[in-house]
Amino acid sequence: MRRRVLPLLAIGLIVVGILGILAISILLTTQFGVAGVFQVPPEAATDPGVQNGARIYFTATDSAGRAIPYRGGTVMRLACANCHGPDGHGRATMMFVSPNITYANLTNPEGMLEPDGERMPPYDDATLKRAITQGIDSEGKPLDWPMPRWQMSEDDLDDLIAFLKVLR
């Protein structure tokens, strides 16, 4: 009897596991919504740098169509827009709250406004690149785990920042 029960138990556990993964994916899709509803403002639509930055922001792929590698972050591959919103204003999900990363907020001379209402020292381009690639915030402290550490070329970083500038 025992020999029969164990394989059944194993199959049962696998089925429960698969159902769990399915449930989580459905939850994530509804939580994060579908990217691509956002339109680049007309004044920036013709700028190739901004366009490249927008593609990175919405798809996390480089100009050759390759997936931009990252460390940390979520197991499920997500682009900036999925976590920070198509307009960059941040969002609250069941797993984390992400900040407003419009350039205007990140570099606000009065301090960057965090979702909890706290103000952090403003970023400049160098510390912003460090945040994106190394996950270090403007105070030199590590960002929470959901924020991936992206391995991006200097040109792509410049374009991504150019795109964060057009977000309002």
Site for ligand HEC, rule CB under 6 A: 73-74, 78-80, 82-84, 96, 98-99, 101, 114, 120, 128, 131-132, 137-138, 143-144, 146-148, 150, 160
Tell me if 157 sits within 8 A of 149, measured CB to CB: no
Closer CB to ligand HEC, 47 or 114, in the complex: 114
Helix (H, G, I), strand (E, B) or coil at 61: strand
Do residues 116 and 99 make contact, with C-beta atoms less than 8 angstroms apart? Answer: no
Closest contact distance (angstroms) between CB of 145 and ligand HEC is 8
E strand map for the chain: 70-71, 112-113, 119-120, 149-150
Q: Which is nearer to ligand HEC, 19 or 28 (by Cβ)?
A: 28
Please say which residue, 50 or 128, places its beta carbon nearer to ligand HEC. Answer: 128
Three-class DSSP category at 144: coil
The b/e string for 81-108 (b: 16+ C-beta within 10 A; e otherwise) is: bbbbbbebbbbeeeeeebbbbbbebbbb
Shortest reach from residue 18's CB to ligand HEC, in Å: 23
**Residue 21 Cβ, how far from ligand HEC at the closest point, in Å?**
17
DSSP state of 73: S
CB of 88 to ligand HEC, least distance (A): 9
Q: Would you say 17 or 61 has its CB closer to ligand HEC?
A: 61
Measured from the CB atom, the residue of 12 and 36 that comes closer to ligand HEC is 36
Rounded to the nearest whole angstrom, what is the least distance from the CB of residue 78 to ligand HEC in the complex? 4
